[in-house]
Structure 1
Amino acid sequence: MRHIKFLSLVISLSFLVAACNQKSKEDKKDSTDDFEPITNEVLESSVIYEANIRQYSPEGTFDEFTKDIPELKELGVKVIWLMPVYPISMKNRKATPDLSIEDIEDPEEKKKYLGSYYAISDYTAINPEFGSMDDFDELVKTAHDNGMYVILDWVANHTGWDHKWIEEHPEYYHKDNEGNVTDPINPDTGESWGWTDVAHLNYENDSLWTAMKDEMVYWVKEKNIDGFRADVAGNVTTEFWNYVVPKLKEEKPVFMLAESEDKDLFYEAFDMGYNWEGHHLMNEIAKGEMSVKDWDAYMAKIDTTYQKDDYLMNFITNHDENSWNGTVEERMGDASETMLAFTYALPGMPLIYSGQEYGMDKRLKFFEKDSIPKVKGKLWDVHVKLGELKNTNKTLHGAKKAASYKRLSTSNDEKVIAFERSKNGETLIYLANFTDESQEFQTSFYGRYKDYMTSEPLELKTDQIHNFKPWEYKILISE
Structure 2
Amino acid sequence: MTTSAIKWWQKAVVYQIYPRSFQDSNGDGIGDLKGIQERLSYVSKLGADVIWLNPIYQSPNKDNGYDISDYQAINPEFGTMQDFDDLLAAAHARDIKIVMDLVVNHSSDQHKWFIESRSSKDNDKRDFYIWRNPVDGHEPNNWSSFFSGSAWKFDEKSGQYYLHLFVEGQPDLNWKNDELRDQVYQMMNWWVDKGIDGFRMDVISMISKPDGLPDAPLPAGNTYANPVSLTANGPHVHEYLREMRQKVLNNADLMTVGETSGVDIEHAQKYAGIDGSELNMVFQFEHMGLDDNPNPALGKWDNQPVSLVKLKDNLSKWQTELEGNSWNSLYWDNHDQPRIVSRFGNDSAEYREVSAKMLATLLHFMQGTPYIFQGEELGMTNAYNLGWDDFDDIEIINGRKFIVDKEKLVDNDTMLDYVHYKGRDNARTPMQWTAGKNAGFTDGTPWLKLNDNFETINVTAALADDNSVFYHYQKLIQLRHDLDLITTGHYELIDPADDQVYTYKRIGDDQELLIINNFTDQDLERDYPVPADAQLLISNYQDDLGLKLRPYEAKAYLYNR
State TM-score, norm by structure 2: 0.64
Counterpart residue type for residue 308 of structure 1: G
Which of 536, 539, 553 is 1:451 aligned to? 536
Q: Is contact 1:403-1:422 (8 Å) kept?
A: yes
Per the alignment, residue 9 of structure 2 pairs with: 43
1:269 pairs with 2:278: yes
| Total equivalences in the alignment | 402
Which of 407, 416, 425 is 2:501 aligned to? 416
1:192-246 alpha-carbon deviations (Å, 9 max, x no partner) = 245222111111212111111111111001x111110010111013222111122
- How far 1:391 sits from its partner (Å)? 1.6
Per the alignment, residue 393 of structure 1 pairs with: 483
Q: Is contact 2:109-2:115 (8 Å) kept?
A: no
> What is the SS of the residue equivalent to 2:307?
coil
1:151-190 alpha-carbon deviations (Å, 9 max, x no partner) = 1100110000110001331210011315999999559999
Per the alignment, residue 19 of structure 1 pairs with: none
CA separation of 1:458 and 1:139: change in aligned 2, threshold 3 A: same
Q: Distance in 2 between matches of 1:176 and 1:151?
A: 35
Unaligned runs of 5+ in 2: 26-30, 117-124, 152-164, 209-236, 294-302, 384-390, 395-424, 434-457, 463-467
Per the alignment, residue 429 of structure 1 pairs with: 514
CA separation of 1:419 and 1:301: change in aligned 2, threshold 3 A: closer
Q: Once structures 1 and 2 are overlaid, which stretch shifts more, 79-88 or 371-380?
A: 371-380
1:253-306 alpha-carbon deviations (Å, 9 max, x no partner) = 21110112441322421111114223445999x9654134x3443355336653
CA separation of 1:236 and 1:76: change in aligned 2, threshold 3 A: same
Q: Is contact 1:76-1:390 (8 Å) kept?
A: no
CA separation of 1:155 and 1:441: change in aligned 2, threshold 3 A: same
Q: Is contact 1:273-1:313 (8 Å) kept?
A: yes
Counterpart residue type for residue 507 of structure 2: S
1:197 pairs with 2:169: yes
> What is the SS of the residue equivalent to 1:319?
coil
Q: Is contact 1:449-1:457 (8 Å) kept?
A: no
RMSD: 3.4
1:372 pairs with 2:378: no
Which of 308, 320, 325 is 1:291 aligned to? 308
Per the alignment, residue 170 of structure 1 pairs with: 126
1:51-79 alpha-carbon deviations (Å, 9 max, x no partner) = 11111013312111112223212222111
Q: Distance in 2 between matches of 1:327 and 1:474?
A: 19
Counterpart residue type for residue 51 of structure 1: I
1:142 pairs with 2:228: no
> What is the SS of the residue equivalent to 1:475?
strand
1:116-148 alpha-carbon deviations (Å, 9 max, x no partner) = 210000011111111111111111112212112
CA separation of 1:289 and 1:215: change in aligned 2, threshold 3 A: closer
1:475 pairs with 2:475: no
Q: Distance in 1 between matches of 2:140 and 2:172?
A: 6
> What is the SS of the residue equivalent to 2:51?
strand
CA separation of 1:456 and 1:394: change in aligned 2, threshold 3 A: farther
CA separation of 1:349 and 1:62: change in aligned 2, threshold 3 A: same
Per the alignment, residue 354 of structure 1 pairs with: 374
Q: Distance in 1 between matches of 2:77 and 2:529?
A: 57
Counterpart residue type for residue 514 of structure 2: I
- How far 1:445 sits from its partner (Å)? 4.4
Unaligned runs of 5+ in 1: 1-38, 95-114, 461-465
1:344 pairs with 2:364: yes
Q: Distance in 2 between matches of 1:370 and 1:304?
A: 35
CA separation of 1:289 and 1:154: change in aligned 2, threshold 3 A: closer
Q: Distance in 2 between matches of 1:452 and 1:190?
A: 51
1:335-383 alpha-carbon deviations (Å, 9 max, x no partner) = 4331121110111122111222233224595579952101321221221
Counterpart residue type for residue 56 of structure 2: V
1:316 pairs with 2:287: no
Q: Distance in 2 between matches of 1:295 and 1:354?
A: 24
Q: Distance in 1 between matches of 2:544 and 2:534?
A: 5
State the structure with more CA Rg.
1
Counterpart residue type for residue 440 of structure 1: E
Q: Is contact 2:259-2:282 (8 Å) kept?
A: yes
CA separation of 1:198 and 1:298: change in aligned 2, threshold 3 A: same
Structure with greater proportional helix content: 1
Q: Is contact 2:318-2:328 (8 Å) kept?
A: no
Counterpart residue type for residue 192 of structure 2: V
Q: Distance in 2 between matches of 1:453 and 1:74?
A: 19
CA separation of 1:372 and 1:385: change in aligned 2, threshold 3 A: same
CA separation of 1:185 and 1:62: change in aligned 2, threshold 3 A: farther
1:2-60 alpha-carbon deviations (Å, 9 max, x no partner) = xxxxxxxxxxxxxxxxxxxxxxxxxxxxxxxxxxxxx9532222111111111101331
Alignment of 1:28-107 (within 5 A): 40-59=6-25, 60-89=31-60, 94=62
> What is the SS of the residue equivalent to 2:279?
coil
Q: Is contact 2:271-2:281 (8 Å) kept?
A: no
Q: Is contact 2:319-2:367 (8 Å) kept?
A: no
> What is the SS of the residue equivalent to 1:44?
helix
Q: Distance in 2 between matches of 1:61 and 1:434?
A: 37
Counterpart residue type for residue 130 of structure 2: H
Alignment of 1:217-296 (within 5 A): 217-221=189-193, 223-237=194-208, 238=237, 239-260=239-260, 261=263, 262-263=267-268, 264-267=270-273, 268-281=277-290, 289-292=306-309, 294-296=310-312
